[in-house]
């Protein structure tokens, strides 16, 4: 799996701080930036995040290039509707000798791994036969597995990204998208540490687990995980 932050709003924290200050100031937009020091930006961003003044967070966005993930993952990812996606098309891109993602539970079980790989080879063979019979790629793709490797470009604003992290960094999230979420979190923390200081699973940000009886019971471990990312 590869996750790379390829673009983002320049000075995202200053942009968010400017948006917040405009809401409460009579100063015109052109003068907001020149009057704000780095210390003021830091204090205002901290206040915004604590207050939950989330609309101002929408003015900063982040774009990720993601590859080496399965269709299982991207089917989950696109459920986060307030985001923009561009995914490699199986309609136009041939999937001969496609790469595939093997879950750790299968990779660690020799018998299961052999059966899994046997099925992937059968899928490849069937796909090749269908395309060899002049079946369009858009129809031949119906035999492809959810394990098929794919690539996707995803753009989130800060508000949507924080919500994404609250759900997908949770220990109860599916393993593949959880791994990707932590890679994404590490990327954005490197360019906007103030905005994502407390980002992560809901329990990390709020101190309360929303899962009720289905809690993972790993609050202390989750806090340590946040500090290491």
Annotated catalytic residues are 168
Question: Distance between terminal CA atoms of the chain?
Answer: 17
Q: On the CB side of 180, how many CA atoms lie within 13 Å of its CA? A: 29
Q: Where are the beta strands (DSSP E) in 27-179?
A: 61-70, 84-87, 149-157
In 3-state terms, what secondary structure has residue 228?
coil
Tell me the angle at which helices 158-168 and 175-191 cross, rounded to the nearest 10 degrees.
140
Closest CA to 171 of 229, 205, 227, 222: 222
């Amino acid at each position: 799996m590869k996750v790379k932050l390829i673009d983002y709003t320049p000075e995202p924290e200053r942009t968010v701080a400017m948006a917040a200050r405009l809401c409460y100031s009579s100063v015109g937009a052109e003068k907001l930036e020149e009057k704000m020091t780095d210390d003021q930006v830091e204090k205002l961003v901290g206040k915004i995040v604590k207050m939950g003044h989330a609309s101002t967070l929408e003015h900063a966005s982040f774009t990720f290039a993601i590859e080496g993930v399965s269709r299982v993952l991207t089917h989950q990812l696109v459920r986060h509707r307030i985001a923009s996606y561009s995914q490699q098309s199986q309609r136009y891109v041939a999937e001969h000798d496609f790469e595939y993602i093997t879950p750790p539970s299968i990779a660690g079980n020799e018998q299961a791994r052999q059966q899994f790989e046997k099925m992937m080879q059968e899928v490849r063979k069937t796909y090749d036969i269908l395309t060899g019979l002049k079946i369009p790629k858009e129809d031949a793709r119906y035999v492809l597995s959810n394990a098929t490797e794919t690539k996707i470009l995803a753009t989130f604003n800060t508000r949507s990204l924080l919500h994404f992290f609250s759900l997908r960094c949770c220990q109860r999230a599916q393993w593949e998208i959880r791994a990707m979420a932590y890679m994404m979190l590490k990327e954005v923390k490197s360019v906007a540490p103030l905005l994502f200081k407390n980002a992560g699973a809901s329990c990390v940000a709020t101190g309360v687990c929303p899962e009720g009886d289905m809690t993972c019971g790993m609050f202390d471990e989750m806090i340590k995980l946040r500090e290491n990312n």
